[in-house]
Copies of this chain bind each other. A is one copy, B any other.
Amino acid sequence: MALKIGDLANATGTKVQTIRYYEEIGLLPLPARTEGNFRTYDKETLRRLSFIRRSRGLGFSLDRVRELLGLADHRDWSCTAVETIAREHRKAIERKIADLSALDHELAQIIEKCGHGTVAECGILEALSPS
């Protein structure tokens, strides 16, 4: 029932190189090896990788993921720190949305200025030029 790196990759939608990268930076433990030097994994590592990928999918940085994994190991601790990480991440995302929305409005206004003529008269380029 030993899993190879490709099995983990398939099961989690992760590239093989990415799994090796996670191992390199210490997010995944050094796995056992077969006689032929192939990495072998157990279900626990598969769960850990799934956790990492789900967290990454939600936009957490690898450093945050590392913290979350560290917290998850202390089952008797308060989960306040977990909540804090999640809330701050959400705040950061909302800031990003606000920034992008402002950009979107600005772009909309600039695009409207296009006179569909020549570059020389282009309102878009003019809007990008120094006032």
Contacts and interface: CB of A to CB of B under 8 A. Distances in A.
Interface residues of A, number: 51
Contact of A106 (B58, B79, B82): B58
Contacts of A93: 100, 103-104, 107
Contacts of A33: none
Contact of A51 (B68, B121, B129): B129
Given A93-B104, A100-B97, A107-B58, A80 B116 contact: yes
Interface in A53-76: 54-55, 58-59, 68, 71-72, 74-76
B128 A55 contact: yes
Interface in A72-131: 72, 74-80, 82-83, 86-87, 89-90, 93-94, 96-97, 100-101, 103-104, 106-108, 110-111, 114-122, 124-125, 128-130
